[in-house]
Amino acid sequence: MSENKIIISDHLVMDIAVFLSTLKYDKLFILTDTNTEEKCYPLLKDVPAIQQGRLLITPAGDTYKNLERVANIWRILSNEGASRHSLLINLGGGMITDIGGFAGATFKRGLQTINIPTTLMASVDAAVGGKTGINFNGLKNEIGSFYAPLCVFIDCRFLQTLDYPNLLSGYAEMIKHALICSPEHYASILSFDLDGEIDYVRLNKMVAQSVAVKERIVEEDPKEHGIRKALNFGHTIGHAIESLSFKQNEPLLHGHAVAIGIVCELYLSYKQVGFPSEKLTQVTHYIKEYYPSYIFDCNDYDALYEFMTHDKKNEGGIINFTLLSDIGKVHINQSVNKEVILESLDFYRESFGI
């Protein structure tokens, strides 16, 4: 499958109708979750081809991004006579684009997919770049594949359906993109007012900039052999925090876990490669201002460290981090000893008064 095309759309119905008219497919399926089916699917009902498609609805929430649910999608596709020439549209947040992308990549060894992200998280991260996956054995995205969709349609009207915690979740990925990109991008992200009335016009432009950061890196390294690992900044510890929250039956939104990971991995960056202390303090204060603290203690450290050992970037049993020596100055494949990793968890807890 070729590299995906990204369309920042102001006229979603027309753009999708035109794009679908250029494709050859025998059957059309639309995957949504219970939230998306209610809030977002109605925006597409005027597309004639969508009206003829088969709607697949799965429960909402990352806890359902599992083998049982993907098997259910496979089962429906099989029972409905889907072929390698069928088309699956994934309409939803990161959970939907991840599980739908994986189902599409594996059914009949790959059918055509399109992603229409409906959350900020999916728009700037999950739906873009061709990563697909499901959670397995208590681990985040343990099973998956690289499988680029034919196209990703991003329409920021969907963002106005989001609650505040989900808006913050996606914004954490935008903070990450800014940190690995440039001082100018970083300054624009930190100057955006997340309090009160959200400026969606400005946010739309910032989403396009954030997508461009990821798109540029993915184009250079589609299979994550090198610089694409920059996109994992904040995620080694972030995924561990997220996995712990699932284990404790108090699941965090992905971006909230990434925000914690950003604080911890900037501390590692400060210790290991000289990230400026004043910028560490600035980012930590920004995240503390907007993101609720996550309560854990030293009794959780061994579990968190164990989760980190399963990170997909690791090689030869060594935990690999992406670290920054400054804004936009990325260092991949950085090993950090356990003592310093646990120090970073202490730093987060002390900074957030836990």
pLDDT single digits (tens) 344-353: 999 999 999 9
Q: Which CATH architecture has domain 164-351?
A: Up-down Bundle (1.20)
Residues 160, 247 contacting (CB under 8 angstroms): no
Whole-number mean pLDDT of the chain? 93
Predicted confidence at residue 28, as pLDDT, reads 98
Higher pLDDT, 111 or 157: 111
Tokens representing residue 159 in the block: 């963002």
Span of 69-78, 90-99, 119-128, 142-151 with lowest mean pLDDT? 119-128
Tokens representing residue 98 in the block: 């991840």
Give the residue-averaged pLDDT of 126-146. 90
Give the residue-averaged pLDDT of 260-273. 98
Give the residue-averaged pLDDT of 138-147. 90
pLDDT, tens only, 201-237: 889 889 999 999 999 998 888 888 889 999 999 999 9
Distance, CA of 49 to CA of 27 (rounded, Å):
10
Across-strand partners of 326?
329
Q: How many CB atoms lie within 10 A of CB 49?
A: 18
3 pLDDT above the threshold of 60: no
Higher pLDDT, 107 or 10: 107
Predicted confidence at residue 184, as pLDDT, reads 96
pLDDT, tens only, 33-50: 999 999 999 989 889 999
For domain 5-161, the question of CATH label 3.20.20.140 is answered with no
Predicted confidence at residue 188, as pLDDT, reads 95
Distance, CA of 144 to CA of 133 (rounded, Å):
4
Predicted confidence at residue 4, as pLDDT, reads 63
Ramachandran angles phi, psi of 294, nearest 5°: -110, 120
* Percent of the chain with pLDDT strictly greater than 90: 80
Residues 104, 112 contacting (CB under 8 angstroms): yes
Q: How many residues are there in the chain? A: 354
121 pLDDT above the threshold of 60: yes
H runs (alpha helix) in 142-253: 164-181, 183-190, 200-220, 235-247
In the chain, list all ranges with CATH 3.40.50.1970: 5-161
Q: How confident is the model at residue 314 (pLDDT cuts 50, 70, 90)?
A: confident
2 pLDDT above the threshold of 50: no
